[in-house]
Chain A
């Protein structure tokens, strides 16, 4: 089904065989936006433009050479037309979003969505890039936060900045969790990423606030190949929020991000995502974003913990498996996921829990909701290595179907090389039925509130992992998405 996508690598080779790029290298450096296409010159140009240290260029080139030998994965349960990797421009100078004078200039459809989500007025302005008054100016908010974080020694900045300011930290950890050749998209990302977030929490530090991409990406368009690296040193804790519930329109169809997390002894990272990218035309699925993300955390130190929480409600195709490598002894990995698909969306998402250390624990709670003509797959691997004595895993995989044109699939994989492990797996499939909604309505409860109640009930265990405000917005978001799908 996705086999046709594999043939693309041939044309990449062809381009390489030509030996030289048709635009001169100097022109490349001067250009604000690189012409479409990918080769070593393009990568050198990116690195040079960003004034990167030598190790970074070597990293990129190595990744690119690896990528050339790889094939697009064909195993995910998704279908899409071939991606022409030579038809993408891999660098453009960060463009500020168009500043608007007032909310009157914002797309009314977007405003209605904001209203339904209950996003406060000032926040609406910020999200749609309307100039806000001094008190709520996001830039000043970001600056205040940054100052507060610096006081306790926390580094939170764009990764391009970290490469200038803290190259030794980046070099030590970049690619240690997701190796450059990990998979096709991770290799591509490693070769061409232009920005993303960098977080370093020093030892014995509890982050005084939740770190959020809100603070970082505010005036610029979201990058196509984002790279995030978070390091939480000994005895430290950080909670990181990515994305927001507001719909994100973007001209880039392919998004291939990489996120790497590292915890040292007794450290904990909690990473929460709400993703609501454009899913394409609800009737045809055309134009939606392909979200091919590699997210992985390594519990490198003993007694450390990494927890992923995701609410995935957008993108035409989602291919994403936030995973944990439980390397230290007594480490813990968690994965809480709500994935909603409607229209013609396709999601193949889940997690990998790799148990290496002794007494490692992992839990997986996955809630898939499929509506309309969408397809929703859970794919999860629990792997227990030989030395991982007393490893434990609990997996719960629930699917909910809305309507009868959609599908839900579950692909659990278990590999264990140790007989002292305890694994539990539970799975269920349910439906929101017309009878249930009628029951609510017969008691005077609106259809909208009924759907909210049923969905919240279904997703309760995941929502409670999210920070309070985020959870409320996420609940509303799901209702909004499903309103037209039930009945």
Chain B
């Protein structure tokens, strides 16, 4: 059984579909890269997978781990192991970063029928994960994303991914806003989290992230659909020739 199976998905805001007929199968242990020009529907797909209430699915189906994903609300999807690394993580003043992470971690433990961890034990877990993604410990006590630089916000997303250990991670433009050193650190962190039981969908505009996280499949998105799929070499061709190379014949 595939971890994720998207069939003929049409989705967008009320009345306007942005994703227009996407089919994609993702198995555990795989890394998929979704590339494409801005406005091609990549981020919409990510939001739809995570269950954002503003997006409406007009047609198609998504099966996750044998269950109808579209029947689950955002919280249920998260607890079932679906993680979205946001392109623009929202700032939440007044809420302590470490406390937020502990809430999320405990929600997962409770779902699994385990006991919650107290702040002291969690601190140890958090330290280890922060090291993994190369994040300064001072960010523990900051308010969630408030005043973080673009790069720190993205690192914080990966930190959350590391803490929660999801089954399916969708990283939406995680590379944007990162300088090359930060990109390497984040990529190394993501690579350490990859294993045969989980899967990763990387949404990116640029090929450079794929130098550090090697995809098994590359899909090119344009006009709300996948217009070309291939192996990792496809990313190199795109880098060399630009999106016009694949989008032109489609027009």
Contacts and interface: CB of A to CB of B under 8 A. Distances in A.
B52 interface: yes
Interface stretch (B34-42, B58-66, B90-98, B182-190): B90-98
A447 B75 contact: yes
A444 B89 contact: no
A6 interface: no
Interface in A417-466: 430, 433-436, 438-447, 449, 453-454, 456-458, 460
A-B interface, 10 closest residue pairs, ranked by CB to CB distance from nearest: A457-B94, A444-B78, A443-B104, A441-B74, A444-B107, A444-B79, A441-B75, A457-B95, A435-B90, A453-B95
Interface residues of B, number: 31
Residue in A439, A456, A460 with the greatest tally of chain B CB atoms within 10 Å: A439
A445 B86 CA distance: 16
B111 interface: yes
Interface of B: 50-54, 73-75, 77-79, 83-84, 86, 89-90, 92-96, 99-100, 103-104, 107-108, 111, 143, 160, 164
Residue in B75, B77, B108 with the greatest tally of chain A CB atoms within 10 Å: B75
Contacts of A449: 103, 107
Contacts of B100: 440, 443, 445, 453
A166 B200 CA distance: 77
A445 B94 contact: no
Given A454-B94, A457-B92, A457-B95, A443 B54 contact: no
B74 A446 contact: no
Given A443-B160, A453-B95, A458-B94, A438 B107 contact: no
A440 to B, nearest CB: 8
A110 to B, nearest CB: 28
Contacts of A443: 78, 100, 103-104, 107, 160, 164
A454 B95 contact: yes
A447 B74 CA distance: 10
Interface of A: 430, 433-436, 438-447, 449, 453-454, 456-458, 460, 487
Contacts of B164: 443-444
Contacts of A445: 75, 100, 103-104, 107
Nearest to B91: A436
A453 B103 contact: yes
Contacts of B83: 442
Given A442-B78, A447-B75, A436 B92 contact: yes
Contacts of A446: 75, 107
B89 A438 contact: no
A55 to B, nearest CB: 51
Contact of B90 (A439, A447, A457, A460): A439
A481 B36 CA distance: 45
B99 to A, nearest CB: 8
A202 B99 CA distance: 44
Contacts of A456: 94
